[in-house]
Amino acid sequence: MDLSRRRFLQAAVLTAAAAGATAACGGGTGASGSKDSKNLKFWYWAGGLSDKVVADAEKHFSDVSLKTSVIGGDFKTKLLTGMKTAQTAPDITGIKGEDIASFLPNAGRFLDLNSLGMDKLAPEYLSWKLKQATTQDGKLIGFPIDIGPCAMYYREDLFAKAGLPTDPAKVSSELSTWDAYFEAGVELHKAVPKTFLVNNIGSVFSMAVGQGTSRFIDADNKFIGDQDHIRTAWTTAVKPYTLGIDAKINDNTWNAAIGNGTLGTEIGAAWHALDISNAAPGTKGKWRVASLPSGPSNLGGSFLCLPSTCANPEKAFEIIKWILSPENQARGFTDAALFPTAPAAYELPALTGGDAFFGGQKTIEIFGPAAEKIPAAYEAPADAAVSAAYFNELTNVEAKGKDPETAWKDAVSQAKQIAQRQGVK
C-alpha cells in the first residue's frame, strides 16, 4: 500500500488544524415520525469494519432492510452533510477515532447509547475507550469498534547482527524505557550503518504523548500544551534525531525503507502490522513484536454511532451490539486487522494463534496486556487541531535542520494561537 493507516491518521491531524472543529457547526433536524422503521441506512468507510460481518448482519437481521454504504472520500464531511436532514442522514454510522472528540460538543445530534442498554454492556468493553465517546455529563455517543494498542516492531535478524537481544520477552524487558531503546538504536546503527531506529520523530512524539493522562487541553478547556508532560514528550521525540538514529522519513519512501533494512524497528499500533506485511512481504519471518518502551499507548480506533434521527433506535442498537460482539470483533481482527475493544475476544483463536509474518509469535501476548493498560486521557474537541503545530515543527527539525529548541517555542506559540481560535482558554 502506498499510504499506511498511520499516515492517514497523521494527515487527519493536519486537516483538523486547517479546517477546525467543523462538527461543532449546527445542522441536523430532529427526529420525526415513526421510530420502528424496517428500513435502516448504515454508513461506514472501507476497512472500517469487516465487510463479511456486515454482510452477515444483513442476513441475521432479516426482519429489517439494512442498506449498507461504504462511503469513499472525506467521511466526516460527507457525514456532516448527510446529517443536515432526517431524510439524508444514516441511521447507523461510523465515526473515526480522530473525529469523535469534535462531535462531543453536539452530542445531542446522536442518541445516548446508555439509554439503549450500553450501560449494562459497558463492563465488557475497555473503559478508557468508552470514555473517548462520553460527554462530561455522562452521555455515550459511540460504541467502540477497534483500538490501536501500540508496540515496538523489530527486525530480529538485524538485532542479532548488532548483538542485541532478539527474544520478544527479553527485548521488552531490556528496552523497557525510551532511553534504553535509543541506546539500542545507537548500537544497531553502529553495527549496521544503513539501518536506523525510527522512521521519524513525530511517531515517537505521538507515542510519548499517548502514554500520559493529559494531552494538549484539559477538561476545563484550558491550553496545557506548554506544560511539562508535553515538553517531556518533545524532548523524548528529539533524542533519536540528535543521536543520528532517525531515518527522517515523512513520505512514501517508507515502503522501500521497511523492506530494505533501512528501518530496524517501527513503533506503531496493532493494525500497523498489516502496513508492514503489505509493504515488505519479503521480510516475512524476520519481524518480531515487543512492548512499547516506557508503557502502553494507543493510536486510532473508531466507533459506531446512532444519529438522533435514527428511524429505529432499538433495532439499530441490536445491530451494532451484534456486529461488535467479542466473537464478531475477533472476525474483524482476522478480516480487517481491527483490534478488538472487548477483552473477551483476546481469548479467541483468531487472536491467540501464532503469526507467520512474525516468526510464529503470538502477538496477542504483547498487544492484549497493552490494550488493557492504556491510560485514559481527556481529548478535547480541538486536540487534533492544536497538536498539529508540534508535528509540523518536528518535521521542520528533520527536513530543514531547524534548532529543536526554537522549534519547540514556535510549536507552542502556534498551538496557542490555534487553541485561541478554537475557543480554548
Q: pLDDT, tens digit, for every residue of 18-61?
A: 444 444 444 443 444 458 899 999 999 999 999 999 999 999 99
pLDDT (mean) for 59-72 = 97
For the stretch 392-420, pLDDT in tens is: 999 999 999 999 999 999 999 999 999 99
Say if residues 287 and 359 touch (Cβ distance below 8 Å).
yes
* 28-42, 102-116, 164-178, 198-212: the lowest-pLDDT one: 28-42
Domain 150-298+378-421 has CATH 3.90.226.10: no
Residues above pLDDT 70, as percent of the chain: 92
Instruction: Read off the amino acid at residue 53.
Output: V
CA separation, residue 275 to residues 110, 190, 260, 269, 292 (Å)? 33, 27, 15, 10, 18
What letter does residue 285 receive in the DSSP assignment? T
Q: What phi and psi, each to the nearest 5 degrees, are found at residue 305?
A: -135, 160
Decide if pLDDT at 177 tops 80: yes
**Domains 5-147+301-361 and 150-298+378-421 alike in fold:** yes
Residue found under cell 502490522? 273
Please report the pLDDT score of residue 26 as a whole number.
41
Instruction: Supply the pLDDT for residue 347.
Output: 97
What is the pLDDT averaged over residues 378-402? Answer: 96
Alpha-carbon distances of 233 from 27, 120, 212, 272, 284, rounded to whole Å: 38, 37, 9, 22, 33
Segment 343-350 mean pLDDT: 97
pLDDT at 110: 98
Contact 205, 288 (CB under 8 A): no
Closest CA to 83 of 278, 309, 259: 309
Residue 42 has what pLDDT? 98
Q: Looking at this protein, which amino acid is placed at residue 158?
A: L
* Domain 5-147+301-361 bears CATH identifier 2.40.50.140: no
d(CA 117, CA 311): 17
- Spans of all domains in the chain: 5-147+301-361, 150-298+378-421
Neighbours of 262 (CB within 10 A): 17
CA-nearest of 300, 309, 99 to 210 is 300
Return the percentage of the chain with pLDDT > 90, whole number: 90
pLDDT bracket for residue 9 (50, 70, 90): low
How high is the pLDDT of residue 31? 41
Sign of the C-alpha dihedral, residues 207, 367, 166, 260? negative
The predicted pLDDT at position 10 comes to 52
Is this structure's pTM higher than 0.75?
yes
Give phi and psi for 254, each to the nearest 5. -55, -40
Are the beta carbons of 184 and 378 closer than 8 angstroms?
Answer: no
